[in-house]
Amino acid sequence: MSSREYDEELRAEREYVAGLYARLDAERAAAKRRYSVALRGDGESAMEREFEVRALGREVKRLDVADNGLCFGRLEAVTGERSYIGRIGLFDRDDEYEPLLLDWRAPAARAFYVATAASPENMRGRRQFHTRGRRILEFTDEVLGRPDGDQRGDAALLAAVNAPRGAGMRDIVATIQAEQDEIIRLDHPGVLVIEGGPGTGKTVVALHRVAYLLYTQRERMQRHGVLVVGPNPAFLNHIGRVLPSLGESNVVFMTAGDFVPGRHVTAEDTATAARLKGSLKILDVLRAAIADRQRLPEQPYLIELADVTVRIDAETVEWAREEARASGRPHNEARAVFREIVTYVLTERAIARIGRGWLTRDEREAWEQLREDLVAELAEHEAFIAALDDLWPILTPDALLSSLYESPERLAAAGADPALFRVDGAAWTVSDTPMLDELVDLLGAEGPPADDAERARKAEAEYAAGVLDILVDRADLMDDEDHLLAQDMLYAEDLADRFLERDTRELVERAAADRTWTYRHVVVDEAQELSEMDWRVLMRRCPNRSFTVVGDLAQRRSAAGADSWASMLEPYVPRRWAYRSLTVNYRTPAEIMDVAAAVLAEFAPAVRPPESVRACGVQPWAREVTEDELAGAVEEFVRAESGRDGTSVVIGPSDVPGAVAASETKGLEFDAVLVVDPERILADGPRGAAELYVALTRATQRLGVLYRGTLPEALSGLADSPSPVGAGDRTAP
């Protein structure tokens, strides 16, 4: 194509994209007008108004996110038909809804990501736009259908991976690669494991998979939302903009320390305590700790009533305890059974003594009246209530677990390892969170059970909500012979409106605050760090077992984490989970990956490092410093990087000025990384090598290492540098 022809094509593409933006602006303005009208709700019921307001609110958000990079490419079929690919779909409403722009998730757009010269997918060519704001700056063309041609033009991809990093992760809708697209669109309804080394894009692929599922299964998923679990708050902040940028907002983000609503825990246990608490064997400890609080009296309790004194003896309590445990109810709810048995025994004994000589069982009416009086007296009797509290106390998860940790005797009685002892039992750690969550179920409600009317109302409400879910699911699964009538949906909505108190909070707010909320899909990132107990919590949150699991076993640092995916998943989805791997490193340049690969070879020799797609031309370096020189060397690095575009970080032990731990950078990426005291990172427990591997693979452009004493053997290939400033100079050694 000549320069003149290129300029003419560029002008034509700019005009077309300008027309798309004009269409976008018109649709957005119309949606906002309809939204304003819906808010007024003239002549509509509250339920109809709320439904319309929510739907139009979602449409406005969908249109708002498309401003930046609305259209990023074009496909030309062998028939000559052209299709433009972008963030959302736009249609010509005046021409039988002819597509003007294909949503990147639409089946017809798939060729844009997977077509190659050898496998053109019936396409003749692919054009990729480089845009800024609403304007196309330039484009590149690839000719498809030539077996001897390039597999995929890399101009757009390399521009993206070489660009300076910003404050958060960016979406990759314009540069999705074929192996990534296959995973994003994989038709697997259950658990999908995506494993990949550093820089392979596994996190962003998982997030785009969520966006794809929400696009293809909107009705099934939007009422329940999606849960994304990450390793730490910094990581969640880093990825938090990806899904909103793709028009998806019904997503709850949390860490394992957030599993209990209203509680945010970040402190970590020792490796030994984390391993003990993370194992499913801790369930036996929790059950035994509860049973230990259901005790028999050493001496009988004397209950002085108005007319007689009765005893609560060990035999009575043992019978009541057996009946309460046999009920299968949680501890607090089983107290009602325990109390009922004890009350029965005491009233029988009291009646026998009060009525001795004049009252027989044949005098049923007098007998029952006396029983009612005694039951009423016991219900208000302070000594009786105190005895029940001693023998079968109402327990809360916090109180039970903290008192267990603080008492060597209670730990021993529950069969727990003495290593779980701590002085401050309520100093919660991340490993405690799934235990506290489990205790909610084991203990049950703290207050008295709801009365019959309240239970009936809740049952009817749950039934109504269930009808809605069934109808929505059926609508998604209908074949040509299925018929779903409008009145079916209206009846279900009427039921829900009748029995459910309307909650005007957004879905994300409601879901995050409700422990019993169940999600239609869950994404677990850095999943190798999750314990067996963590997985137990998550499986409760997603009964239909729809998961995208992302991780890298070679990067595991938690003593309670996964040694294999099967060990964590088989108990819940036996032989019903799929595994896919990503092998191409899009983040870490070859120069840095060679250094990290040497560390990987030492602690995981069977693991093959991902292959980098690029080199950056900057050699990583190492520099020995003394104790007195360390602070100045760190400051020199920070000062040098502050004058460059992009982001930087110092990773090292906690006593290094300005440094963060490698664990806090998991899943993050920076243009420049300075690793301090790698020998101390290696020495920090059995997973120190994995920590160092993580630290070395965070950089996208520049990597430096400061060490005191001896440089680890795995890093011996690093070039010496007299100054951290030289790390950014492509002529540096």
| Strand (E) or helix (H) holding 530 | none
Q: Is 277 annotated as ligand-binding?
A: no
C-alpha gyration radius of the chain:
32
| Strand (E) or helix (H) holding 635 | helix 627-642
What whole-number distance in Å separates Cα of residue 63 and Cα of residue 101? 13
Q: Is 200 annotated as ligand-binding?
A: yes
Q: Is 709 annotated as ligand-binding?
A: no
SS3 707: strand
Torsion angle of the four alpha carbons 309, 312, 314, 318, in this order, in degrees rounded to the nearest 10: 150
* Tokens read off for 311: 């005893």
| Strand (E) or helix (H) holding 83 | strand 82-86
What whole-number distance in Å separates Cα of residue 544 and Cα of residue 191? 10
SS3 86: strand
What whole-number distance in Å separates Cα of residue 557 and Cα of residue 439? 27
What whole-number distance in Å separates Cα of residue 113 and Cα of residue 111? 5
Q: Is 197 annotated as ligand-binding?
A: yes
CB-side exposure of 26: number of CA atoms within 13 Å? 10
Residue 133's φ and ψ, nearest 5 degrees, are 65, -125
Cα–Cα distances in angstroms (integers) from residue 573 to residues 42, 281, 545, in the given order: 50, 20, 8
Q: Is 203 annotated as ligand-binding?
A: yes
CA 196-199-204 angle, to 5 degrees, is 80
* Tokens read off for 79: 């028939």
**CB-based burial, 538-565: b 16+ in 10 Å, e otherwise:** bbebbeebbbbbbbbbbbbbbbbbbeeb
Q: Is 347 annotated as ligand-binding?
A: no
SS3 581: strand
Give the Cβ contact number of residue 297 at 10 Å.
16
Burial of 440 (0-12, 13-18, 19+ CB in 10 A): middle
Question: Cβ neighbours of residue 380 under 8 Å, at least 6 residues apart?
Answer: none
Q: Is 733 annotated as ligand-binding?
A: no
What whole-number distance in Å separates Cα of residue 433 and Cα of residue 261? 10
Q: What's the DSSP call for residue 415? A: T
- Which one, of 560, 652, 555, lies nearest residue 600 by Cα? 555
The answer to whether 702 and 638 are in contact (CB under 8 A) is no
Q: Are strands 670-676 and 648-651 parallel, antiparallel or unpaired?
A: parallel
Cα–Cα distances in angstroms (integers) from residue 597 to residues 75, 196, 600, in the given order: 38, 14, 5
What would the 3-class secondary structure string for 104-141 be? CCCHHHCHHHHCCCCCCCCEEEEEEEEEECCEEEEEEE
* Tokens read off for 436: 């506290």
SS3 613: coil
What whole-number distance in Å separates Cα of residue 248 and Cα of residue 407? 48
Q: Is 571 annotated as ligand-binding?
A: no
What amino acid is encoded at 513 in this protein?
A
Give the residue numbers of the binding site for ATP. 196-203
Give the residue numbers of the binding site. 196-203
